[in-house]
Structure 1
Amino acid sequence: MPAEDILRIEGVSMQFTGGAGLFGRRNRTTVRAVDEVNLSVRKGETLGLVGESGCGKTTLGRCILRAHKPSHGRILYRRDDGTEVDLAALSRAQLRPLRTEIRTVFQDPNSSLNPRMTVQQIVGEPLVVNGLARGSEVADRVADTLRRCGLRPELMRRYPHAFSGGERQRIGIARALVTQPRLVVADEAVSALDVSVRSQILNLLEDLQEELDLTYVFISHDLSVIQHLCDRVAVMYLGRIVEEAETEDLFEQPRHPYTEALLRSVPRPDPRLRRRDDVLPAGEVPAPDEAFAGCRFQPRCRYAEDICAREEPATLPRCHFAEDLTLDGVYATDVRQTS
């Protein structure tokens, strides 16, 4: 893969098969949560992954972490020594050395921290499990990591309930970074926090990225967070990437109607700025096991024509009319005078 990439996803699909029901009378259903995804992550960047709930972005993140073994495809990861490994093809034993290099920050700090363990035990556990430190060295590395994450080391013998939500998320970030990883997958890392705390955590993530030379895959449905933090954005819809672009370009001039709809749904504080209802997608997201012959967004798209129901575009952006449409970005104005 290109020298600047640390991760390359090639044709990755993840299928889940439902149960057969009582006495096997119900037909099994197969859900393609992730469907033939191709994506690259450059070393040192923050790639944002956005889309509605159920679009497959969390499942894709778990495939990268190998919490799920993909049904098909390759996940190529470049190690620090330049060698490439296919994460999708490795056994659990082969993955273990890589667990220290690829880490995750969970969404909810209230449920992701063990209430029966002290902060020192929580943050230090990856060091002990992976044999990276022992004895007093564990405490020293935990203290140093907590300090980097804006927490006082003298508090590490306390339990999670003694901390606020923002402090608990800092503990979760410290747990992810204590092994000195190279790639961090953050799944809705600030969505469970108060608005007043989000900016602090986002600024912390940016500072840590610069200080520790980290690469982020940042999964979120909050476009304002994506706009602030990410260098590039990939938009997912029903398991497929439909558009990928540099953040500024995507927010100013989207090229896929679904991206336009997402951007126009962002709340704007000026009461004179009204959303154009015709931009927002009609209807509901189709069932995940529904089969499609053409564009997956076609049933909800106001620009759809006959070809959209027959053929799915093969390249990004996945829209037959991407070169012809002029779509509204998040900065588009729709000022209506009111008396």
Structure 2
Amino acid sequence: MAAPRDAEIHKDVQNYYGNVLKTSADLQTNACVTPAKGVPEYIRKSLQNVHEEVTSRYYGCGLVVPEHLENCRILDLGSGSGRDCYVLSQLVGQKGHITGIDMTKVQVEVAKAYLEYHTEKFGFQTPNVTFLHGQIEMLAEAGIQKESYDIVISNCVINLVPDKQKVLREVYQVLKYGGELYFSDVYASLEVSEDIKSHKVLWGDCRFVSATFRLFKLPKTEPAGRCQVVYNGGIMGHEKELIFDANFTFKEGEAVEVDEETAAILRNSRFAHDFLFTPVEASLLAPQTKVIIRDPFKLAEESDKMKPRCAPEGTGGCCGKRKSC
């Protein structure tokens, strides 16, 4: 059973997103804005196919569309009105499936109301989207099976949950081995004061820095060594160049040396067949000089040196009244 404070937070979030907000214009701060530039054309086209009422109730802080989605099973945590689900529905195709789960009943009802519309719009014979009313901390109770999804996404939702560790544990259970948690959210560099935690507007809207993380559930095998990888190309929308994260960009046919962790991710995920792998012999290994960035605030510092003052593509959005992270 949730602690009294947790239950109060759930009630406030449900009220804010279900009753206070009617459209994105009702957000009470302009703390986060999804970037308009740098979005691949195939995603822009998919966004244009989503019904305007669903889009108007979108309250996310990033773009949670990873690459290589054909035939994938995807779970959207905090799916709201279903905008991201309907975008991904087109990208996974008729053989893929999207499940959205949200604890705000009003939002789930909006999402469900447009199932038939989008099925016809996308040219599918049957819907490939399911919406569930439930809490993302209790996926099993909502009927979501263990090791049943290739990808789990979330768009500015985990920050609203009191027990974030429980969410991550639940996600780990439902992901297949090789699966990915791809989520955009907001982060504080210091412990947030009780005044801010209890401030309903600040709790309900994005704040501080927005970043997108990609985390993979890997099988328990021997650790991979550093190696050279060559991107084969051909992933839809990323045929010639794959910007994997803030640290690695892979161009078609170009050899790139990657660290042990990145090598293990590429070898054991849905990207395995998109790369050629060449182990680097220990005797030939040079000291690793590339600094791997994992701290979103470090990434924000780097991007702050660039113009315009906005987070780079892949980090989610722009934060603050001046839209700088």
- TM-score, scaled to structure 2: 0.26
- Structure exhibiting the larger radius of gyration computed from Cα positions: 1
